[in-house]
């Protein structure tokens, strides 16, 4: 029985495809975005010098996986190769160095000359968006690859070459290449059988008392929470003035003393203010001696000088105060740390000050939820722990608390009995109330407040 389509049911386009062996679809202009391509080139040229304020975006753009072959315009492919060659040689990437490389290769005129390189720089809206432009270019390249694979399958099928098995092999090969080339495609996750040995090894470490997380600086808190683990978030909540920033900075320094690589991002305090607090805590210098004219004694000055080589120059702690207050700025700085020496702990002070792009329809709670989720994702992507500080309302409830608690692995509320009751019999004590703990029980750890030194200490040290 014939399965052919009756002639009267075949359209003109279908007939052209059947008789000509090629669909009209392949005569169309392939998917491409020349503006995005130009913006990628411009972003790389603009951020490729280590002296550039936007240098961090150079690596972030290349980290998307974009390669020269993914550009549609040959000139852009040639320029991208030259950029990579200059970068691999350890030279700063800018229009001058790239033009020099293209001149040596005899390709400068072919890509449009020096003027086109400068035109690319002028065309880019923002070097910070370089990674996004690169993803657009990669997505267009992937669609072109899909079309090319589909065309190979059609051309082979129309040629009537080979038998059915050979046709099937070609189809399977082309489809496999299409799927494997999908931008952002992940491999299948590991089976539990593959995870078993790692699970046993980690269990042995736990049972033998080996810490698997970074220290908070308080033994009891470390014991209850197992420390600060990569890919997790600790939320530290308190009312204004209670000491959440002091606790977080103490924890950051304690972790850094063990060799952990730490970035402290403060939206409230300058780098100098943070340094004053660290110096006060580590040198036992009254904080007001460091902040008031003529208050620092000769002994205090000697301690400050000693802390330089003995502490500050040895401590793997970076302090970052973004010009704005956006989550993207903090994330970019954290990624730069991760690419450099590495990053084990990120502290953000504090959540409600971090900004995200908002539309008029978004609520404040949704905006904070976006920040919270962004920090959680960042902890997973970078394999670091995040301490996120959060304000409490006057009634003791965390602002926009639902989303924040959902994303946190540990929630610690900092409470000082003498904050509202100066004559409290527990004056000088601080309760670290663990309200959520995915790694153990909830509990309350009491420590001592030495706020004149800008620090909390274990009760045993008082």
375-427 per-position pLDDT tens digit: 888 898 889 999 999 887 655 565 556 677 888 899 999 998 887 787 888 88
Distance CA 215, CA 237 (A): 19
Out of 41-45, 117-121, 150-154, 219-223, pick the least confident.
Answer: 150-154
What does the alpha-carbon distance between residue 230 and residue 32 come to, in Å, rounded to a whole number? 39
264: nearest Cα among 315, 320, 217: 320
Pairwise pLDDT comparison (116 vs 168), residue with the higher score: 116
- Please name which of 375, 404, 412 lies closest in space to residue 218, comparing C-alpha atoms: 412
Task: Return all residues near 235 (Cβ < 8 A) that are at least 6 apart.
Answer: 351, 387, 388, 389, 390, 398, 404, 405, 408, 410, 411, 412
d(CA 128, CA 75): 23
Confidence of residue 10 (pLDDT cuts 50, 70, 90): very low
Q: What angle do CA 163, 164, 167 make, to 5 degrees?
A: 90
288-305: average pLDDT = 89
Burial class (CB in 10 A: 0-12, 13-18, 19+), 27: exposed
User: Does the fold of domain 219-461 match that of domain 20-183?
Assistant: no
| Strand, coil or helix: 443 | strand
Q: Thinking of the domain 20-183, which architecture would CATH place it in?
A: Orthogonal Bundle (1.10)
The structure tokens listed for 221 are 């808190």
**Residue 114, number of CB atoms within 10 A of its CB:** 17
Q: What is the token pair recorded at 240?
A: 């204004």
**What is the pTM for the complete model shown?**
0.64
C-alpha–C-alpha distance, residues 396 and 246, integer Å: 19
Q: Give CA–CA dist 32/144, Å, rounded.
A: 8
Structure tokens at 7: 């002639």
**CATH topology (fold) of 219-461:** Rossmann fold (3.40.50)
Of all helices (H) and strands (E), which one includes residue 415?
A: strand 410-415
- Give the least confident one: 193-197, 407-411, 458-462: 458-462
Per-residue confidence band for 351, with pLDDT thresholds at 50, 70 and 90: confident
DSSP string, 42-86: HHHHHH-STTSTTTHHHHHHHTTT--GGG-SSHHHHHHHHHHHHH
Q: 46 and 52 in contact (C-beta within 8 Å)? A: yes
The conformation of residue 1, written as its DSSP 8-state character, comes to -
**What distance in Å separates the CA atoms of residue 269 and residue 262, rounded to the nearest whole number?**
17
In order of 22, 24, 56, 156, 158, the CA distances from 5 in angstroms are 18, 20, 60, 21, 16
Give just the sign of the alpha carbon dihedral 10, 13, 18, 20.
Answer: positive
- Beta-carbon contacts of residue 127 (< 8 Å; ≥ 6 apart): 42, 43, 46, 47, 54, 57
Length of the chain: 462
Q: Order across the sheet with 429-437: list the strands.
A: 317-320, 262-266, 345-349, 385-391, 233-238, 410-415, 429-437, 443-450, 455-458
What is the reported pLDDT for 352? 80
Domain residue ranges in the chain: 20-183, 219-461
Tell me what the mean pLDDT of segment 312-323 comes to.
Answer: 88
Determine what percent of the chain is predicted with pLDDT higher than 70: 87
Residue 3's CB: how many other CB atoms inside 10 A?
A: 4
* Predicted confidence band of residue 436 (pLDDT cuts 50, 70, 90): very high
Respond yes or no on whether the N-terminal peptide bond of residue 350 is cis (omega within 30° of 0): yes
pLDDT surpassing 70 at residue 13: no
| pLDDT number for residue 400 | 57
pLDDT of res. 15 = 35
Distance of alpha carbon 317 from alpha carbon 3, whole angstroms:
73
Distance of CA 61 to the CA centre of its chain: 13
What SS3 state is found at 264? strand
Q: What average pLDDT does the chain have? A: 83
Question: Regarding predicted confidence, which is higher, 324 or 360?
Answer: 324
Contact 389, 247 (CB under 8 A): no
Per-residue pLDDT tens over the stretch 81-116:
999 999 888 888 999 999 999 999 999 999 999 999
* pLDDT reported for residue 362: 63
């Amino acid at each position: 029985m014939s399965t052919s389509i009756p002639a009267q049911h075949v359209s003109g386009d279908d007939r052209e495809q059947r008789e000509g062996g090629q669909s009209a679809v392949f005569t169309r202009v392939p998917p491409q975005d020349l503006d995005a391509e130009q913006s990628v080139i411009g972003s790389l040229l603009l951020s490729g010098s280590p002296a550039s304020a936007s240098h961090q975006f150079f690596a972030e753009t290349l980290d998307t996986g974009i390669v020269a072959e993914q550009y549609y315009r040959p000139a852009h492919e040639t320029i991208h190769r030259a950029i990579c060659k200059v970068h691999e040689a350890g030279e700063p990437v800018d229009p001058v160095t790239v033009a020099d490389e293209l001149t040596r290769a005899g390709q400068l005129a072919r890509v449009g000359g020096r003027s086109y390189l400068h035109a690319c720089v002028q065309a880019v809206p923002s070097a910070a968006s370089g990674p996004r432009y690169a993803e657009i270019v990669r997505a267009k390249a992937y669609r072109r690859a899909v079309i090319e694979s589909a065309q190979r399958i059609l051309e082979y099928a129309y040629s009537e070459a080979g038998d059915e098995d050979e046709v099937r092999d070609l189809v399977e090969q082309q489809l496999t290449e299409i799927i494997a080339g999908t931008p952002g495609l992940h491999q299948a996750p590991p089976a539990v059988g593959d995870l078993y040995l790692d699970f046993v090894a980690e269990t042995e470490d736990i049972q033998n008392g080996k810490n698997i997380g970074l220290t908070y600086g308080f033994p009891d808190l470390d014991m209850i929470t197992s420390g600060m683990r990569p890919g997790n978030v600790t939320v530290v909540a308190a009312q204004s003035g209670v000491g959440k920033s002091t606790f977080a900075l103490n924890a950051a320094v304690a972790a850094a003393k063990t060799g952990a690589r730490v970035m402290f991002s403060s939206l409230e305090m300058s780098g100098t203010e943070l340094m004053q607090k660290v110096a006060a805590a580590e040198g036992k210098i009254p904080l007001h001696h460091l902040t008031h004219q003529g208050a620092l004694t000769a002994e205090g000055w000697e301690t400050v000088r000693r802390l330089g080589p003995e502490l500050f120059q040895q401590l793997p702690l970076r302090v970052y105060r973004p010009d704005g207050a956006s989550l993207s700025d903090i994330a970019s700085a954290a990624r730069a740390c991760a690419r450099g020496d590495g990053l084990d702990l990120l502290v953000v002070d504090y959540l409600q000050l971090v900004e995200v792009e908002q539309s008029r329809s978004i609520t404040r709670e949704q905006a904070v939820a976006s920040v919270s989720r962004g920090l959680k994702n960042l902890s997973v992507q970078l394999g670091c722990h995040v301490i996120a500080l959060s304000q409490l309302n006057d009634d003791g409830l965390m602002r926009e608390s639902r989303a924040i608690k959902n994303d946190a692995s540990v929630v610690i509320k900092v409470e000082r009995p003498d904050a509202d009751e100066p004559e409290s019999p527990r004056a000088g004590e601080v309760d670290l109330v663990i309200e959520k703990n995915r790694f153990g029980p909830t509990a309350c750890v009491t420590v001592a407040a030495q706020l004149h030194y800008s620090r909390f200490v274990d009760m045993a040290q008082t």
